[in-house]
Amino acid sequence: MRPEECAVKTEELTRIFRLRKREAREGKREILALDRVSLEILPGELFGLLGPNGAGKTTLIKILATLLTPTSGRAFVAGVDVVENPVEVRRHINMVTGGETSGYGLLTVEENLWMFAQFYGIPSREARRRIRELLSLVGMADRAKTKVYHLSSGMRQKMNIVRGFLTEPEILFLDEPTLGLDVQTARTIRDFIRQWLWDHPNRTILLTTHYMHEAEELCDRVAIIDRGKILACAPPGELKKSLKQETVFRLYLAGLSDGKNLVEGMPGIRALAQRVEDGRLALDLILAEEEALVRVLSKLQAAGGKLVELRKEEPTLEDVFLALVGRKFSEDAE
Amino acid sequence: MTRSFGKTFLRTLVGRAYPRLIGLWREKSWIIFDVFFPLLQVSAYVYIYRAVGAPPEFAGFAVLGGAMIAYWMNVLWSMASQLYWEKETGNLQLYLIAPTSRMAILLGMALGGLTATTVRAAGVLLVGTLLFHVPLQVTDGALFFGVFVLTMVALYGLGMLLSSVFLLWGREAWHLSNLFQEPVFLFSGFYFPVRALGFWVAAFASLIPITLGLDAMRQLLYPRLMEKFRFLPVEAELAILAGLSILFLFLARLGLRFFEDLARKEGRLTLRGQ
């Protein structure tokens, strides 16, 4: 695809950091942060970049946001070359980073957001309208007049999220936006992102995360990056399918001592296993078609069985990462 | 310059000046740190002058110098090393990705700082004058105002230049500011006429615009006494200040572009991992 048809396009993008002598790691004076990364992100996509700490996610975002130049290769944002015309790129973007402490503690939430809006030339009245609207969407309407140094880290991150969306950017870079946040705040932010894209279908988000569930839950497509290299890029469902690992339905039953003989041979069942787990009968089924599950449950219930719990065990992106890299995601902490 | 560029420039300027102005009212500790403490230093000089029987105008030298110190401190800590702090807090990267002029951000910082510092300096001047019964009589108000304005333009121009140079450095910026602070108190003649240091030292110190500004303002306040102590005629000092203003603002603009590009190449605009 041509660069102008993509929201973001990179071609063989490489970044090497040269270290000073005293910063050398194991005698090495260079770090290869990005290794010939080629990506195409389409307008309207929520694209995820998934990788452990130090994988190169932030380096890629910094290059796209015009904060860093690549060592070689090219990058285009909204069809504009980030090295040749960074000023034009900035008209199309905004960025939010996880754990950000930006703004001034002495100013209120509203004043901080207003200040950043001024840098984008948004008239004060319009800025204040958008601030009110967005703060209410993230549940912070009552905090508009609170000074920033009185905010918790979760509230502060919500404010940062509002700052990023306030300018209604065509392309938004979210670099680990839920990093270190509690479950509830992270969920609020994810819901907000989803809703915003729903309301603005032509806008594009590039999200970096090392939370698998976040990538799975939010992204249309995910690229898995490790040690500066893109290892795979597809919708989360496809990535998981690529493992050729089948979905297992696990049924926990009460009131039955044997379920296997009851359902064995039923159409739609490809494999079947039975065991007792914590005193409960557990039946594992691999189905050729998911509709077969209804027939199986009817038969078991007719025989006096009561379904206590049903689990669908699918391969996760963690399994995809393990298969691609040969080690677990959590083993990569920097 | 297009209309929308001009509007964004102005909005940026006002937006960035705002935190400095509002800080004046929300954080009152400046009354202690920026008025009371400088007055202690001024007092020491006033009492020395009185002890040696110097004319009362000498107390005026010290009070005026004490007021002008507020500007030097502001330029050093809130202009020159400001971008270092902004990098530490994560603001710098947000400034740099915004589709606005970096000069507008620096000018906003300068104007906000200048206005807030003027309140502080006025506090020192007022309290010092009343406390020590300093004779203050401006011979030419318009010229005095012109000298002050040009001194400020040149001084804050220097601050903008230093801030772009300091963009590359991390903690070194902080150390450099520390290094500049005290020597300038001496070499710029904050508490005494700079001519006492000799022509060449005064000439070198004139690279800091406040040196010439102070000397010219003292001449306009105490013309008879300063005939013996002046460094250069007011007109010459005014002309040099105008030249320094243009030079520093021009270099600041060039420097900002050059150092930003260099820092972008070297990956020094943000903290690692930020």
What is the ipTM metric for this complex? Answer: 0.88
Where along chain B do its domains lie?
A: 7-266
From the list A100, A101, A115, the residue facing B19 with the nearest CB is A115
Local confidence band at A328 (pLDDT 50, 70, 90 cut-offs): low
CB contact under 8 A, A117 and B105: no
Give the separation between CA A178 and CA B69, rounded to whole angstroms: 45
Taking CA–CA distances from A108, the nearest residue in chain B reads: B19
Residue A299 lies in a domain: yes
A223 in a domain, yes or no? Answer: no
Instruction: Kindly state whether A102 is in contact with chain B, defined as any CB-CB distance less than 8 angstroms.
Output: yes
pLDDT tens, residue by residue, A85-129: 999 999 999 999 987 788 899 999 999 999 999 999 999 999 999
Average pLDDT of A245-272?
Answer: 86
Q: Which two tokens stand for residue B201?
A: 């030292």
For position B274, what pLDDT does the model report? 44
In a domain, A266, yes or no: yes
Expressed as residue numbers, the domain containing A299 is 248-313
Question: Is the per-residue pLDDT at A334 higher than 50?
Answer: no
Give pLDDT tens digits for A122-138: 999 999 999 999 999 99
Give me the pLDDT at residue B170, please. Answer: 65
Dihedral, CA of residue A176, residue A180, residue A182 and residue A186, to nearest 10: 0
A176-189: average pLDDT: 87
Q: What residues form DSSP beta bridges with A77?
A: A8, A80
Which of A25, A59, A67 is the best residue to mutate to test the B interface, defined by the most B CB atoms within 10 Å of its own CB?
A67
pLDDT of A331 over the 60 cut: no
> Cβ distance B177 to B167 under 8 Å?
no
Q: What CATH number is associated with residue A295? A: 3.30.70
The tally of domains found in chain A comes to 1
Q: Which among B26, B94, B264 has CB closest to A116?
A: B94
Q: Which pTM was predicted?
A: 0.85
- Asked if B274 has any chain A CB less than 8 Å from its own CB, the reply is yes
Distance (Å, rounded) from C-alpha A53 to C-alpha B206? 51
Residue of A nearest to B28 (CA): A106
Please tell me which residue of chain B has the smallest CA distance to A59. B273
B142 in A contact zone (CB under 8 Å): no
CA angle A40, A44, A45 (to 5 degrees): 50
Q: What is the 3-state secondary structure (H, E, C) of A284-334?
A: EEEECCCCHHHHHHHHHHHCCCEEEEEEEECCCHHHHHHHHHCCCHHHHCC
High-pLDDT (> 90) share of chain A, % = 55
Q: Which residues contact B76 (CB under 8 A, 6 or more apart)?
A: B159, B177, B180, B181
Q: In what order do the strands lie in the sheet with A46-50?
A: A93-97, A171-175, A204-209, A46-50, A221-226, A229-234
B28 inside 8 A of chain A by CB? no
Flag whether residue A68 sits within 8 Å of chain B, measured between CB atoms: yes
- Give the count of Cβ contacts less than 8 A between chain A and B: 97
Query: Per residue of chain B (274 residues), what is the pLDDT tens digit?
Result: 566 888 999 999 999 999 999 988 888 888 888 888 889 999 999 999 999 999 999 999 999 999 999 999 999 888 888 888 888 888 999 999 999 998 999 999 999 999 999 999 999 999 999 999 998 888 899 999 999 999 999 999 999 998 888 877 767 777 888 888 888 989 999 999 999 999 999 999 999 999 999 999 999 999 999 998 999 999 999 999 999 999 999 999 998 889 888 888 888 877 654 4
Tens of pLDDT, residue by residue over A207-252, are: 998 888 888 889 999 999 999 999 999 999 898 888 766 778 889 9
What percentage of chain A has pLDDT greater than the value 70?
96
Compute the distance between CA of residue B223 and CA of residue B215 in angstroms, rounded to an integer. 11
Using CA atoms of B46, B50, B52, B57 in order, give the dihedral in degrees to the nearest 10.
80
Query: How far apart are the C-alpha atoms of A59 and A33, rounded to whole Å?
Result: 7
| Positions of E strands within chain A | 8-18, 30-41, 46-50, 72-77, 80-81, 93-97, 171-175, 204-209, 221-226, 229-234, 248-254, 269-277, 280-287, 306-313
What pLDDT, on a 0 to 100 scale, did the predictor assign at position B272?
Answer: 53
Query: Nearest CA of chain A to the CA of B82: how many Å?
Result: 13
Q: What is the DSSP code (8-state) at residue A56?
A: S
Residue with tokens 């420097």: B255
- What residues form DSSP beta bridges with A313? A248
Residue-wise pLDDT for A29-49, tens only, equals 788 999 999 999 999 999 999
| pLDDT tier at A75, thresholds 50, 70, 90 | very high
Closest Cα in chain A to B100: A119
Q: What is the DSSP letter of A55?
A: S
Angle at B144 between CA B141 and CA B146, to 5 degrees: 110
| Coil, helix or strand at residue B97 | helix
- Nearest residue to B106 (alpha-carbon basis) of B251, B213, B1: B251
Is B11–A121 a contact, with Cβ atoms under 8 angstroms apart?
A: yes
Q: Across the interface, do A67 and B265 touch by the CB < 8 Å criterion?
A: no
- Specify the pLDDT at position B136: 82
- A306 domain residue, yes or no: yes
User: Which of B27, B264, B265 minimises the CB distance to A106?
Assistant: B27
The reply to whether residue B12 touches residue A119, judged by beta carbons under 8 angstroms, is: yes
Indicate whether A179 pLDDT > 70: yes
Closest listed residue to residue A76, CA positions, set A67, A66, A156:
A66
Within-domain flag for A300? yes
In this predicted structure, what is the pLDDT of residue A330? Answer: 61
